[in-house]
Amino acid sequence: MLKLKAMKIFKFILPLLFFVMINDIKAQDSTETSPFLYGADIVSRYIFRGLDYGDSPAIQPAFSFTKKGFTIGAWGSYAFIATPTGIEADIYASYAFDFGLSVGVTDYYFPGEMLTINPDSTISPVRKGTYFDYANTHYNELNVSQSIGNLDLSGNWGFHNMDNAVYFEAGYTFKWISAFLGAGNKIYTTNGKFNVVNLGIKATKEINITPKYAFGISSSVIFNPEAEQIHLVFALSL
């Protein structure tokens, strides 16, 4: 019953936020700073919470709209090598408070049925579902995060098609390098037990092309202790 109510609320909130966004576009003064953010990352590997999604380099477009603390956005990942495991299209909504707390919900969509985790810690959905097959191809998660200076803390609970899995992460950002530690259970581990799955560091650099345009590059070293795997990832942010 709780899952059914959450699904109904989620499907009601997103269209409402889209309606607010479109009406704000019509009323927006051309001199105002745009509330839209858009871009894309090109990554050598799609690693999410210590797990390998797609087994291929990927391009990851993103689009979001923010107004008075509310954000609604879309994010996707598309593997360069076309495989069923390399396609994802997500929609999310969140609200950020002035004191660093953010609360939101994410709708993960994979064009397949249920996610399964293989012994090699690779995610493998089966490509046969459709976007409107909500019961089988969507995965919903509640997200809570808190920023305290350079420290970022987050907690996530998967309440639809994610077996009530939880994932927690702590990250600290220095000048150019950030360090992170994440732990989860169920879909994040090969035995379902709570364990550390995402440990690493990330170095970033911004390269200025013109006074108004710059792109970023980053390199990450990611270790999954539970799966005994290590990943090195390079990303170009446009």
pTM, rounded to two decimals: 0.82
Identify the pLDDT of residue 83: 59
Identify the pLDDT of residue 26: 47
pLDDT digits (tens, 9 = 90+) for 215-230: 999 999 999 999 999 9
Can you tell me the distance from the alpha carbon of 120 to that of 10, in angstroms, rounded to the nearest whole number?
33
Is the pLDDT at 181 greater than 70, yes or no? yes
Which helix or strand (DSSP H or E) is residue 94 part of?
strand 87-96
**What is the average pLDDT across 160-171?**
95
In sequence order, the 6+-apart residues with CB closer than 8 A to the CB of 209 are 215
Q: Which residues pair with 151 in a beta bridge?
A: 148, 172
Instruction: Spell out the domain ranges in the chain.
Output: 2-237
Identify the pLDDT of residue 40: 97
Is the pLDDT at 169 greater than 60, yes or no? yes
| Contact in structure between 113 and 123 (CB atoms under 8 Å) | no
More confidently predicted of 83 and 19: 83
Residue with tokens 């390199």: 219
**What is the average pLDDT across 162-174?**
96
User: Where are any strands of DSSP class E within 97-150?
Assistant: 101-109, 122-123, 138-148
CATH class assigned to 2-237: mainly beta
| Contact in structure between 133 and 155 (CB atoms under 8 Å) | no
Can you tell me the distance from the alpha carbon of 44 to that of 59, in angstroms, rounded to the nearest whole number?
9
pLDDT digits (tens, 9 = 90+) for 114-132: 455 555 555 555 555 678 8
**What is the average pLDDT across 63-79?**
95
User: Residues of the chain with pLDDT > 70: what percent?
Assistant: 77
pLDDT digits (tens, 9 = 90+) for 101-118: 999 999 999 875 445 555
Q: Would you list the DSSP string of 50-84?
A: TEEESSS-EEEEEEEEEETTEEEEEEEEEESS--G
What does DSSP assign to residue 117? B
Can you tell me the distance from the alpha carbon of 156 to that of 9, in angstroms, rounded to the nearest whole number?
18
